[in-house]
Chain A
Amino acid sequence: MSKFVYAIYIRTTAEKLWDALTNPEFTRSYWCGTRHECIWEPGSPWRLMIPDGRVGDSGEVVAIERPRRLVLLWRNEFMPELRAEGYSRATFEIEPVGDTVRLTLTHEIDRERSKLIDGVSNGWPAILSSLKSFLETGDALDLTRHWPENL
Chain B
Amino acid sequence: MTEMTTESTVYVTYIATTPEKLWAALTASEFTRQYFFNRTVESDWNTGSPWILRMPDGRVDIKGEVRESDPPRKLVVTWNVDWIAEKLPEAIVSYEIEPVGGGVVRLTMTEAHPTPIPAYLLEGGRKGWPMILCGLKSLLETGKPLNIPVPQPPKEPGK
Footprint of B on A, CB under 8 Å? 6-11, 97-100, 102, 125-126, 129-130, 132-133, 136-137, 139, 141-143
Whether the pair B134, A132 counts as a contact (CB closer than 8 A) is: yes
Determine the main DSSP class of B at the interface with A: mixed
Cα-based distance from A8 to B16 in the complex (angstroms): 16
B-side contacts of A97, CB under 8 Å = 148-149
Assuming A9-B135, A129-B13, is B101 touching A100 (CB within 8 A)? no
Question: Which one, B41-49, B74-82, B84-92, B136-144, is touching chain A?
Answer: B136-144
5 A–B contacts, CB within 8 A, in A order: A100-B134, A129-B137, A137-B141, A141-B104, A143-B100
Count, chain B residues at interface, CB 8 A: 24
A125's closest neighbor in chain B, by CB?
B12
- How far is the CB of A30 from the nearest CB of chain B, in Å? 11
- How far is the CB of B121 from the nearest CB of chain A, in Å? 17
Whether the pair B12, A9 counts as a contact (CB closer than 8 A) is: no
Q: Is B119 an interface residue (CB 8 A)?
A: no
Whether the pair A99, B13 counts as a contact (CB closer than 8 A) is: no
Q: Is B102 an interface residue (CB 8 A)?
A: yes
Whether the pair B102, A100 counts as a contact (CB closer than 8 A) is: no
Cα-based distance from A97 to B138 in the complex (angstroms): 15
